[in-house]
């Protein structure tokens, strides 16, 4: 099923007509639309999860959890809208004594206009039709047109129907939401004159192609893509000595979670040479389970990615997970830091699925040389002990990643005010987050009003509204 | 004088080495560096202004004022650094009861790394070597490499020498600042692996070429360009009736200010048909002065831009300013809204210099149709009276511009917390501002620390620092 150019034009025209209404919508109204969408999805979970399971094979428990994560995310953004900081209200009163005399200026962030969202395959709810990009774009005050992922077409259509109905029932304008299908429609969407920004989660190749289309427009638009990430982990000798077995269990659990199909999967692990950590991993990986992969493309790419790594003269297979008749079998490979430093492109390409690469390092110099060539990542994890001197390692990790962890494993991504899910290229095309409250910032633009009569200002910029909202006035932050 | 590839590599390596020091610098230290730079420029004003005047012919009074604006801007950013909101500190405490258990997350914005700044010709201080892009990039905690504008090479070199010396004397690391010259060096700069973001002020053609280089890198970087803007002005019939003569004088003063070489020059003015406003303008424009233009290229482009407009069958010349033997003579042309709506590319191209186009409109429908095709602009100005119904006009203006004015003229750009100097393409390549406190946001990236021991956190994220800084904790904004 492919959306035609005429259908896309119709969706885009409706979104353009809806944009001023979304932009001007008051907080209670907009928050209500988001909560209505969340409620409708929760109510439909028992219908949607079986469709999702049939199309993605991720299993009902995980998928029910993901629906809850998705609706929780919509509700968090409703709270963000009500709290009001996202407007970044700033007022400077006129100063006729200044030289030159200063006018009154009132600045706010407003919705950028219709947003295109490209759904991912690996989270058919949380990063798909009504996922984080959609939630943050709506919260910012924008209509959304989603390009469905071909990995779960029926789920996408049904979710979109529910979204359209829920928004309409809650009083949101026609044109608030639409779904398009097919690669051609996606390419046309990101180049459509009505679209003012795009969000994307997917592969480096797909994301780069769309980024290039967005940047190549006569009027370039921001393209917020989350593409690929190897998520380096560093273990210090002291950490392995203190808790090697626990770390091995944690790593195996994390890289096989969701059959290794998390964007935050730990894909490369720096282990101290001679620490015995490889033996610890070998001892536990055999019991780990993989599982069916999401799509035929991913299912085909996994063995060829592994084969390429295995064929490299610098690698060896450390061990496999449990045999499986249906899907990918976990596998751990090893290499050393010198090989990674010399040939990062060959050894550090992301392989989607349950595989990780242990990289032996002998001493800090070898570790740091290898860390300098690790591609930009969403996360970096450091397992160290209290007395370790990790200053330089930490410096390198925070240059390479948007989230740095000191305990646990990177595969969990809490949806909170403080979350940051982004990192240097190719983790994301921009440095902004696609998870957490601040994801809203991507779909907003600043407008300042100079010497405006109060009646012509957007409501939130008038004095009576300012007393109820966080804002800055004459340089000073003021809370309600 | 052209910077060689080897010199650029040396500057870039030094900037990369300085970047972690800038990023980690404490607020009093970093603010001190900015103030030292401001003080050194103020102290050198009597030396710099004559060089600037010789190279740009903008005149000593204007140039002295511009030095003050530039150093005031550096000092504003020192205040922004000390105030601390720019870090956007967000902390969510751990919640072991949550499902899944939530880790502790502490997020902040940090400097993105070495920044390239492309200087403009029309503000040889305020948008050049130590102008707004440089000030905001340094304030964000980044070393800067400036590409000099060829219009004022000697001033650029001397300003850069003063900047390097002042930063070194204040204790900033080597590599904090460098200057490159020549188009090739500029192209290499925006593509250099060490550069993490770029700021630009200049022409649409030049900016687009550099934007394409930045976006086409193997690892694309954000390119914040301010390119071109026609700055529409709308006069309602009631406004002309109430104060036509005053509006005519204001317009003529604004479009001829600095010989029409302001990015916020009102280039297209919608005037009610039959209102007599053209006569008011014709009556005052004859006394207006133009003047020498900035560069040979601009001097050559002005008459050919005018000739192209004049030759258009839909335009007529309304009047000229005072004759001049040295430079551009002001000129006002007229056309009508229908012609603009039909052929915006021909009639609404920005012509740099003292020219403006009056567009007659008969009724709101004609006005709105024409406004819909006005290119994205930095500013839009509406002169209306109390009883005018301007809702739809205002809606269109705020879609087309980043700053909407209701009194006065757009050529003044106050440097304040609330300023917004950006707009839809081609006004800027991104929607962010290049003037005012929030310009700092362009050169920052978010990093979150998960379950970090306090001693390994950046200082501003530790509990003892948070009590002194604006931050959000568990969803609630807290002031110091």
A9 inside 8 A of chain B by CB = no
A61 inside 8 A of chain B by CB = no
Question: Mind telling me how many Å the CA of A17 is from chain B's nearest CA?
Answer: 12
Interchain contact, A85 vs B414, CB within 8 Å: no
* Closest alpha carbon within chain A to B403: A448
Q: What is the pLDDT of residues A269-295, one digit of tens each?
A: 999 999 999 999 999 999 999 999 999
Low-confidence stretches of chain B (pLDDT beneath 50):
none
- Residue A158's pLDDT band, with cuts at 50, 70 and 90, is very high
Interchain contact, A449 vs B406, CB within 8 Å: yes
- The confidence score (pLDDT) of residue A100 equals 80
- The confidence score (pLDDT) of residue A5 equals 97
- The confidence score (pLDDT) of residue A1 equals 76
* Mean of the per-residue pLDDT values of chain A: 96
- Tell me how far apart the alpha carbons of residues B357 and B335 are, in angstroms, rounded to a whole number: 7
Instruction: Report the pLDDT averaged over residues A362-391.
Output: 97
Best A205, A344, A416, A479 member to test B by mutation, with max B CBs in 10 Å, is A416
- Residue A302's pLDDT band, with cuts at 50, 70 and 90, is very high
**pTM over the 0.90 mark:** yes
Q: What is the pLDDT of residues B74-119, one digit of tens each?
A: 999 999 999 999 999 999 999 999 878 899 999 999 999 999 999 9
Chain B, 249 to 278: residues with Cβ < 8 Å from chain A are: none
Out of A186-195, A199-208, A428-437, A471-480, pick the least confident.
Answer: A428-437
Domains of chain A: 5-227+430-478 (3.40.605.10), 232-405 (3.40.309.10)
- The confidence score (pLDDT) of residue B95 equals 94
- The confidence score (pLDDT) of residue B271 equals 98
Interchain contact, A430 vs B212, CB within 8 Å: no
A72 inside 8 A of chain B by CB = no
* Closest alpha carbon within chain B to A477: B479
- Selected catalytic residue, list B66, B226, B278, B350: B226
Instruction: Report the pLDDT averaged over residues A137-152.
Output: 98
Best B106, B254, B448 member to test A by mutation, with max A CBs in 10 Å, is B448
Interchain contact, B92 vs A416, CB within 8 Å: yes
Chain B, 425 to 444: residues with Cβ < 8 Å from chain A are: 425-426, 429-433, 437-438
Interchain contact, B452 vs A404, CB within 8 Å: yes
Chain B, 129 to 148: residues with Cβ < 8 Å from chain A are: none
């Amino acid at each position: 099923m492919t959306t035609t150019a005429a259908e896309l034009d119709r969706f885009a025209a409706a979104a353009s007509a809806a944009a001023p209404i979304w932009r001007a919508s008051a907080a209670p109204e907009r928050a209500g639309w988001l909560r209505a969408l969340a409620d409708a999805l929760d109510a439909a979970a028992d219908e949607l999860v079986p469709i999702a399971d049939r199309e993605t094979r991720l299993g009902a428990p995980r998928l029910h959890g993901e629906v809850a994560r998705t609706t929780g995310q919509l509700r968090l953004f409703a709270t963000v809208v009500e709290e009001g900081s996202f407007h970044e209200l700033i007022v400077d009163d006129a100063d006729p004594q200044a030289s030159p005399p200063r006018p009154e200026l009132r600045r706010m962030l407003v919705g950028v206009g219709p947003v295109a969202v490209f759904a991912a395959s690996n989270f058919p709810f949380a990063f798909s039709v009504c996922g984080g990009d959609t939630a943050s774009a709506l919260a910012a005050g924008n209509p959304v047109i989603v390009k469905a992922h071909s990995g779960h077409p029926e789920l996408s259509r049904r979710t979109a129907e529910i979204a359209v109905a829920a928004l309409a029932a809650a009083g949101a304008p026609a044109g608030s939401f639409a779904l398009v299908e097919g690669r051609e429609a996606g390419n046309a969407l990101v180049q459509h004159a009505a679209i003012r920004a795009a969000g994307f989660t997917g592969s480096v190749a797909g994301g780069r192609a769309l980024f290039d289309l967005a940047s190549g427009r006569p009027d370039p638009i921001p393209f917020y893509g989350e593409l690929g990430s190897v998520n380096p982990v560093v273990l210090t000798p002291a950490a392995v000595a203190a808790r090697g077995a626990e770390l091995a269990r944690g790593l195996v659990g994390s890289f096989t979670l969701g059959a290794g199909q998390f964007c935050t999967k730990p894909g490369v692990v720096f282990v101290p040479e001679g620490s015995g950590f490889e033996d610890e991993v070998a001892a536990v990986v055999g019991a780990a389970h993989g599982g069916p992969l999401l799509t035929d493309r991913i299912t085909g790419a996994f063995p060829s990615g592994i084969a390429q790594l295995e064929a490299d003269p610098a690698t060896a297979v450390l061990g496999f997970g449990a045999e499986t008749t249906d899907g990918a079998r976990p596998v751990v490979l090893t290499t050393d830091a010198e090989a990674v430093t010399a040939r990062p492109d060959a050894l550090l390409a992301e392989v989607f699925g349950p595989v990780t690469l242990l990289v032996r390092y002998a001493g800090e110099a070898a570790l740091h040389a290898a860390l300098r060539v690790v591609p930009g990542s969403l996360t970096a994890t450091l397992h160290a002990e209290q007395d370790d001197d990790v200053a330089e390692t930490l410096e390198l990790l925070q240059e390479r990643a948007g989230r740095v962890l000191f305990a646990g494993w990177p595969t969990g991504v809490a949806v909170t005010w403080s979350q940051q899910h982004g990192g240097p290229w190719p983790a994301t095309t921009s440095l902004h987050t696609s998870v957490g409250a601040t994801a809203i910032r991507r779909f907003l633009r600043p407008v300042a009003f100079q010497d405006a009569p109060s009646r012509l200002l957007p409501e939130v910029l008038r004095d009576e509204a300012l007393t109820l909202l966080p804002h800055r006035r004459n340089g000073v932050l003021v809370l309600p």
